Chain A
């Protein structure tokens, strides 16, 4: 197990280098620079432009710029936003809980619906329910996030007027950030209606972001269950006289969860990508929207730092999922 963790951790260094390289060079391939976008419509004369470029260090050769950037990162300095002048780290810290809250809700939504749906589909194989679950999940899996988000807004917010269109909570409330998770903070604040408002704002983004993981989890649970139910040890469990419920929920599900957890691990990266789109659609004040805004402003330090920090988050979550995998799969736990 220790070796297992160490190999995982040792992968972090090359991944870290990869992320910094990508984030650094990709954004510089995009035409335009931060000075132009800051100057905006008014424009800027060439001399002043050149002077500012020198000030920001953009005139140096690009590899020198990268070297300077990396050495600062290694000292823990991610730089300051070119737009707000606030340190990248403190902006990220303030915004990240919103993204995390959305991601957690989405994955819970996917698990709470996907596990039982996949299980029942497997048990009632080839029934109408099974075909329904498989059909819907295929549709859900292929749904583009932007389109799906807009459809839901049109139906539930515009037509039915059931849910708010954007933001995390109604503007009426000011919630002191304690944990950064509004669901918790709104309860702590004791303000009447704040929690309900936070929940209302979460519903659509959660559905939009949770749809792909939901589809993946439902399908994976079904196929894993089908395989497990044909195993010898399930026949043994029946031969012991155990109840159907216990066989399915304990003996079968426990084994079926192993591939499902692997799939959830693979979904973590997808989830954060989805979060960036979802936050943009719903004006969700998280790191996703922050990054998108940074792209438009060519705010290099924010983009580089944000991508790096998000990458670290995805890697850490992946590591946690791998540990969970080791915990539920005794064969891994003892062999490595």
Chain B
């Protein structure tokens, strides 16, 4: 049985302009100890997907799914009380902005021991001892003296280490890291990534690493899920995805990596992620896709099994019959199709 099973998850936000579909039909399985990378431009629904799993979608968001189960527990029917026993213990999450994610009014020690006392029922002294161990493990020097520090006294990188210590405090089966390095200095980014990967290996916990940076994920994840406008576009083993991307969007993301840029200019994907008003009828990527056809503009592709993973595209790049089918479907950009 998989550790995490999500089927057809959607999250909607009612707004003044209509209903904003932030997550649209996401299905996903994650095994124990597995590392999954989630990539996609900003606004593609990566964070909201994981917040839905944590039960943290902010009001007035609505979460729907055919299945949402973690470690054999059905999260759709679970009571709030039972859910709180899971969150922070078996599944934990760290966020993009470490400094604002910690409460400015309480010491690091208080915030760290709070989790231990709640979930592990430790007394003050035991929790304190364990907190020092944890700070040590996440590479915070002179851990004991840091217990009485407030978040504003530490650097962003240190605060993210504290967040990580808090997240792993109760040995979670799954850790979700939502762009954990985006807000940090470049030199610190690599350290935090290394720390996360080492902790994952040591503890064999499942890790979901969200990022909008393909480069970050390349060394980390076994499997990669590419999201766009709330949908999964492609989801495959990391090696395969990097060697032969199947979705034109994945391919474009890879081409935008600095090390893959031809010549001195970075290639970027023209256009922006569709919002509330410009959501296309057909494939959500079609307005920006070099291979769009009249068919793909009008018919939304389903998420289907492909090349050892899943893909949501009418014309996967590795499909030998794609050129013929694109031509038959009236390509909008004749040059690209040939």
Contact = CB atoms under 8 A, between A and B. Distances in A.
Interface of A: 230-233, 235-243, 251, 254-255, 258, 328-331, 334
Main secondary structure of the interface of A (DSSP, over half): helix
Given A233-B103, A334-B153, A241 B85 contact: yes
Given A232-B97, A236-B95, A240-B114, 12 more contacts: A231-B100, A233-B102, A235-B56, A239-B56, A240-B88, A241-B86, A241-B115, A254-B105, A254-B106, A255-B103, A328-B105, A330-B104
B101 A232 contact: yes
Contacts of B114: 240, 242
Contact of B89 (A241, A243, A331): A241
A231 B89 CA distance: 22
B101 A235 contact: yes
Name, among B85, B101, B104, B105, the residue most crowded by chain A CB atoms within 10 Å (CB to CB): B105
Nearest to B81: A243
A331 B149 CA distance: 11
A239 B54 contact: yes
Contacts of A232: 95, 97, 100-101
Interface in B149-165: 150, 152-153, 163
B91 to A, nearest CB: 9
B71 interface: no
B166 interface: yes
Contact of A330 (B54, B95, B152): B152
A105 B323 CA distance: 83
Nearest to B152: A331
Interface string B269-282: 00000000000000
B189 interface: no
A248 to B, nearest CB: 13
B87 A240 contact: yes
Contacts, number: 71
A237 B56 CA distance: 11
20 contacts: A231-B100, A232-B101, A233-B100, A233-B101, A233-B103, A236-B95, A236-B103, A238-B87, A240-B166, A241-B87, A241-B88, A241-B119, A242-B84, A254-B105, A255-B103, A255-B104, A258-B105, A330-B105, A331-B150, A334-B150
B104 A331 contact: yes
Contacts of A242: 84, 88, 114, 118
B93 A237 contact: no
Interface of B: 54, 56, 58, 84-89, 92-93, 95, 97, 100-106, 114-115, 118-119, 150, 152-153, 163, 166
B105 A237 contact: no
A308 to B, nearest CB: 38
Contacts of B115: 240-241
B150 A330 contact: yes
Contacts of A230: 58
A189 B114 CA distance: 47
B71 to A, nearest CB: 15
A243 B119 CA distance: 12
Contacts of B84: 241-243
B328 to A, nearest CB: 49
A239 B92 contact: yes
A238 B95 CA distance: 13
Contacts of A251: 103, 106
Contacts of B118: 240-242
A236 B105 contact: no
A329 B105 contact: yes
A233 B97 CA distance: 10
Contacts of B92: 239
Nearest to A251: B103
Nearest to A334: B153
Contacts of B58: 230, 235
A262 to B, nearest CB: 15
A14 to B, nearest CB: 32
Contacts of A258: 105
B104 A233 contact: yes
Contacts of B88: 239-242
B108 to A, nearest CB: 11
Contacts of A329: 105
Contacts of A231: 100
A243 B85 CA distance: 10
Name, among A238, A239, A329, the residue most crowded by chain B CB atoms within 10 Å (CB to CB): A239
Contacts of A331: 104, 150, 152
A165 B88 CA distance: 58
Contacts of A241: 84-89, 115, 118-119
A254 B56 CA distance: 22
B105 A235 contact: no
Contacts of B119: 241
A328 to B, nearest CB: 7
Nearest to B167: A239
A334 B84 CA distance: 34
A238 B83 CA distance: 11
Contacts of A238: 56, 87
Nearest to A250: B106
Nearest to B115: A240
A241 B87 CA distance: 5
